[in-house]
């Protein structure tokens, strides 16, 4: 379920987070550390994606895209994972037949704004999940 196929995935799949929490709950908050690490690494992941796309580094762009997609899936950030999947498909389709130095900067223009916006929204929701309003008193 991606933007490309006309369906919009939810920003956050609570069932993935619940499953992660259940599987790691016996480990004294390891699930929280896992989610916090995802949040902390997200700006670096999006920056690496920007850098590799704008410099025409196809191998680096694919690696950065896969890293973003996989880590997003692991915390239930379904829409962000879907956007990364859309970009991965575009990278594989368009860079195969065209010059990466031309195609990748164009793909950056087409995809990065939406990815960064979704990353901010996802971060906000994950932080809210980690620290529900009832805990903020």
CATH code of the domain in which 89 resides: 1.20.120
Q: Running DSSP on this structure, what letter comes out for residue 55?
A: T
Domain contains 92: yes
DSSP letter for each residue of 4-54: TTT----S--HHHHHHHHHHHGGGSSHHHHHHHHHHHHHHHHHHHHHHHHH
Domain contains 21: yes
The per-residue pLDDT for 115 is 98
The C-alpha atoms of residue 94 and residue 30 are separated, in whole angstroms, by: 40
Task: Kindly give the confidence (pLDDT) of every residue in the chain, 137 residues in length, as a single tens digit, with 9 standing for 90 and above.
Answer: 445 455 778 899 989 988 888 887 666 688 888 899 999 999 999 999 999 999 999 999 999 999 999 999 999 999 999 999 999 999 999 988 899 999 999 999 999 999 999 999 999 999 998 888 765 44
The per-residue pLDDT for 1 is 44
Domain contains 97: yes
Q: Running DSSP on this structure, what letter comes out for residue 56?
A: T
Domain contains 6: no
Domain contains 8: no
- The total of structural domains in the chain comes to 1
Domain contains 3: no
Nearest alpha-carbon partner for 114 in 67, 75, 74, 68: 68
Listed in sequence order, the residues at least 6 apart from 23 whose beta carbon sits closer than 8 Å to its beta carbon are 31
pTM confidence score = 0.88
The C-alpha atoms of residue 33 and residue 50 are separated, in whole angstroms, by: 26
Domain contains 110: yes
Whole domain around residue 116: which residue ranges?
14-136
Q: What's the count of helices (H) and strands (E) in the chain, helices before strands?
A: 5, 0
The per-residue pLDDT for 71 is 97
């Amino acid at each position: 379920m991606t933007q490309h196929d006309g369906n919009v995935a939810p920003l956050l799949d609570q069932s993935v987070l619940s499953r992660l929490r259940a599987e790691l709950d016996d480990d004294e908050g390891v699930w929280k550390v896992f989610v916090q690490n995802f949040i902390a690494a997200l700006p670096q992941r999006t920056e690496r994606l920007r850098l590799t796309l704008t410099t025409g580094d196809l191998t680096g762009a694919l690696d950065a895209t896969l890293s973003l997609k996989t880590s997003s899936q692991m915390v239930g950030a379904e829409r962000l994972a879907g956007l990364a999947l859309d970009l991965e498909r575009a990278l594989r389709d368009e860079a195969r037949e065209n010059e990466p130095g031309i195609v990748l900067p164009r793909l950056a223009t087409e995809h990065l704004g939406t990815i960064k916006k979704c990353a901010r929204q996802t971060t906000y929701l994950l932080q809210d999940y980690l620290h529900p309003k009832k805990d903020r008193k």
